[in-house]
Structure 1
Amino acid sequence: MNKVQIIESMAVAADIGYADAERVLESMICRVIEAVSANEQVRIGGLGSFSQSVRSARIGRNPATGAPLKIAASKSIQFRAGEAFKRQINQP
């Protein structure tokens, strides 16, 4: 399912127009990005939580030559599925 399909599905399920559903989804995405960027955890009941994690700098290896490389520290995003989501996925 892609973004357009999600918007269409939301519009039908909520009995609202496509443009309204698109604004709601865009707003939600922006709020999640802003909060996680500010190092806040975002919890959405029934779905899961988004949080920021930090990867420290480390030494890696070039797979072709085996030469050591310095890998810079970076931030990444973690998503942890909620229990209801996990139960739904694991139903036979």
Structure 2
Amino acid sequence: VKVTEKMENEAVKIEETLRVKIGEAKDLQFSPTGKETYCKLDLGHRVSHKTCTIDRHCNPFYNEDIHCDVTDKLRFVSFIVFERTQKVDRVIGKASLRK
């Protein structure tokens, strides 16, 4: 939590920043046609970050650092792994943390 204080009786502003490191996914289901995967970080009802797409790997290593501003209304942080397909991207894994 970062606190900045203005002088002469002005309001105090509190800013919260969430720092996340997305490492790797393990033992994803094998697809004979190969697949591209990516991970989205979801803060409440908004997606704050999407990782790069990794080609054809059962243990993709994303290795991304993410810094996000957090609102007071944040209750859940979710990590969702998608498989990219030609029509619609398919969810293949999800983990959520409660604040």
Bin for the TM-score computed over the shorter chain: under 0.3
Larger Rg: 1
Greater percentage in strand: 2
- Structure ranking higher on relative contact order (CA contacts 8 Å, 6+ apart): 2
Greater percentage in helix: 1
